[in-house]
Amino acid sequence: MSPNRVRASHSEIPAETQLLESAATFAKALARLLQSMFGKELNPAETGLDELGKYSRHDLMVSLMFTGSFYGEFILSANLQQVQNILGLSGSTEIETKEQAADILSELLNIVAGECFSDLINEKTKLTLTAPKVFFGVVKFPKIKAAKTTLNFEGTAAIDCVLYLDRMKLDIDTSYRSALGELGVVNSDLMDALDKLQSQQHHLIQAEKMVALGTMAAGVAHEINTPLSTIIMAEQQMKEALATGQTDASGLFKMLSVIETTAHKISKITKSLRFYASDTRGEAFEIKNLEFVVQEALHPWKEALLKKNIRVILDASLSAIEMECRPIQLAQVFYDLINNSIYAVSECENKWIRIKSTDLGNEVAVSVADSGEGIPLNVQSKVFDPFFTTKKFGEGIGLGLSHARGILSGHGGTIELMGYSKNTEFVLILPKKQKQNKAA
């Protein structure tokens, strides 16, 4: 057993093969030693795997424990009569035979183990051989997979050689490999647990949203009821005017306009609620051009922007960015930010919204700024809180930015308010590529 061979067997050969090889080496060395000492030819039978628990029927057993880089036990088991034949102890009494046979086999085992492991000792960590132990009669060993071979002497006598290695401590490499394997299993269990946790968390967020919506419902109902009563009132006035004939087309048109504007207000409230409650968790990541995503978000606002005379400046840098994202979700973020900007600049003289990007290598920074006055210092820390809004009641429920932050987080990104900015500016930092195996 050369050191190189041992090393090779440790790194490449499975534990059971290694067990078989080691047992075969032991048996050969033992046969050679017995032969050189007693001049009798012994033939080691082919080595095979067996359960150690079965080896309790022989009336003489000698075992040698070894620890260190190898941890296991080598056992010679035989019947006294046969050992007497092999070792030339015929004529001795049973007690003498037992004592002498145990002594000889113990020492042989010691020498064989020492010889077989002497290479290993220099290559591996320390090896400790404990003094051989002798058992007579039945010995119960734990059921551990062992390699067994038999030394046959002219077909009339036999010594069973059993080698078992503690599988966990078979050797450093193997235990490292098995530890890695176990780690893999644990890891995959953890991943499952994480998946479950994430799914539960999502349910919780949804549930929380629903609870929040529930508590909001009264306020929202009030907010809807107010324009609703305006509509009803306008409608009643129209009916009355029509019934009494005290109206003209322009009067009717004025009232219809009131109804239309008010209805739009209601529609806006309900739309924002539906948008908030929507679940786009299942959306897959796709490679998209950043400008495309921004345009998608701008599209619904085109008319409002035109009407309110708001200039939208899309920087050329946007079209140069290709990134992996959930396009609908990301568009929702821009949609919300544009919505906020439209609101913020509506009172300004110079109305503009500027979106530009900066390539940061693996990441991209996207700035959404507007000509608004900026967010007052005392509320800057609250802008991402759910249901926080500086808008008038009915014009926003304060979920846009908290929703945006959730979406950004799902992309492995962040959203920040540039507090120092003269205007209102939000900066999104997003990875261009998503990590592998990210849950959709």
Partner 1 sequence: MAKILICDDSRFMLTLFEKGLREAGLDVVGKAADGLECLALYKTTQPDLVLLDITMPNMDGRDCLKELIKLDPAVQVIMVTAVGDEAVKKECLELGAKAFVPKSKLSSPDSFKQAVAETVLPLLKNSRESKAS
Q: Is 103 in the site for partner 1 (CB under 8 A)?
A: yes
Segment contacting partner 1 (CB under 8 A): 31-39, 136-144, 166-174, 259-267?
31-39
Q: Among 27, 83, 86, 129, indicate the residue that binds partner 1 (CB under 8 A).
A: 129
Min dist. Cβ of residue 130 to partner 1 (A): 9
Residues 231 and 228: their CA atoms lie apart, in Å, by: 5
Q: Among 47, 82, 84, 106, indicate the residue that binds partner 1 (CB under 8 A).
A: 106
Residues 308 and 291: their CA atoms lie apart, in Å, by: 23
Residues 174 and 373: their CA atoms lie apart, in Å, by: 67
Q: Among 2, 90, 93, 122, indicate the residue that binds partner 1 (CB under 8 A).
A: 122
Residues 290 and 82: their CA atoms lie apart, in Å, by: 86
Q: Among 3, 7, 13, 33, indicate the residue that binds partner 1 (CB under 8 A).
A: 33
Q: Among 2, 36, 244, 436, indicate the residue that binds partner 1 (CB under 8 A).
A: 36
Are 391 and 407 in contact by the 8 Å Cβ rule? The answer is no
Q: Is 67 in the site for partner 1 (CB under 8 A)?
A: no
Q: Is 117 in the site for partner 1 (CB under 8 A)?
A: yes
Q: Given the complex with partner 1, which of 2 and 36 has the nearer CB atom? A: 36
Q: Given the complex with partner 1, which of 52 and 163 has the nearer CB atom? A: 163
Q: Is 2 in the site for partner 1 (CB under 8 A)?
A: no
Residues 323 and 286: their CA atoms lie apart, in Å, by: 8
Min dist. Cβ of residue 109 to partner 1 (A): 9
Q: Given the complex with partner 1, which of 121 and 427 has the nearer CB atom? A: 121
Q: Among 5, 8, 14, 37, indicate the residue that binds partner 1 (CB under 8 A).
A: 37
Residue-wise DSSP of 323-341? EEE-HHHHHHHHHHHHHHH
Q: Given the complex with partner 1, which of 126 and 435 has the nearer CB atom? A: 126
Q: Is 31 in the site for partner 1 (CB under 8 A)?
A: no
CA angle 91, 92, 95 (to 5 degrees): 155
Q: Among 95, 131, 249, 377, indicate the residue that binds partner 1 (CB under 8 A).
A: 131
Segment contacting partner 1 (CB under 8 A): 6-14, 120-128, 146-154, 307-315?
120-128
Closest of 406, 401, 374, 372 to residue 387, by C-alpha: 401
Question: What tokens does 26 get?
Answer: 């032991």
How many residues sit close enough to partner 1 to count as binding (CB under 8 A)?
Answer: 21
Residues 272 and 336: their CA atoms lie apart, in Å, by: 10
Min dist. Cβ of residue 123 to partner 1 (A): 11
Residues 345 and 423: their CA atoms lie apart, in Å, by: 10
Max intra-chain CA distance, the chain: 142
Q: Is 127 in the site for partner 1 (CB under 8 A)?
A: yes
Closest of 173, 67, 147, 170 to residue 113, by C-alpha: 67
Residues 51 and 2: their CA atoms lie apart, in Å, by: 28
Q: Is 65 in the site for partner 1 (CB under 8 A)?
A: no
Radius of gyration of the chain (CA): 42
Give the 3-state secondary structure of residue 264.
helix
Q: Among 13, 45, 65, 121, indicate the residue that binds partner 1 (CB under 8 A).
A: 121
Distances (CA, A) of 235 to 229, 255, 256, 257, 260: 9, 8, 8, 11, 11
43's enclosing H/E stretch is strand 42-44
Q: Is 114 in the site for partner 1 (CB under 8 A)?
A: yes
Q: Is 90 in the site for partner 1 (CB under 8 A)?
A: no
Are 342 and 310 in contact by the 8 Å Cβ rule? The answer is yes
Residues 158 and 149: their CA atoms lie apart, in Å, by: 10
Q: Among 83, 113, 161, 234, indicate the residue that binds partner 1 (CB under 8 A).
A: 113
Residues 247 and 241: their CA atoms lie apart, in Å, by: 6
Q: Given the complex with partner 1, which of 122 and 246 has the nearer CB atom? A: 122
Q: Given the complex with partner 1, which of 60 and 333 has the nearer CB atom? A: 60
Enumerate the β-bridge partners of residue 429: 365, 414
Q: Given the complex with partner 1, which of 79 and 110 has the nearer CB atom? A: 110
Segment contacting partner 1 (CB under 8 A): 19-27, 99-107, 378-386, 416-424?
99-107
Q: Which residues bind partner 1 (CB under 8 A)?
A: 33, 36-37, 100, 103-104, 106-107, 110-111, 113-115, 117-118, 121-122, 126-127, 129, 131
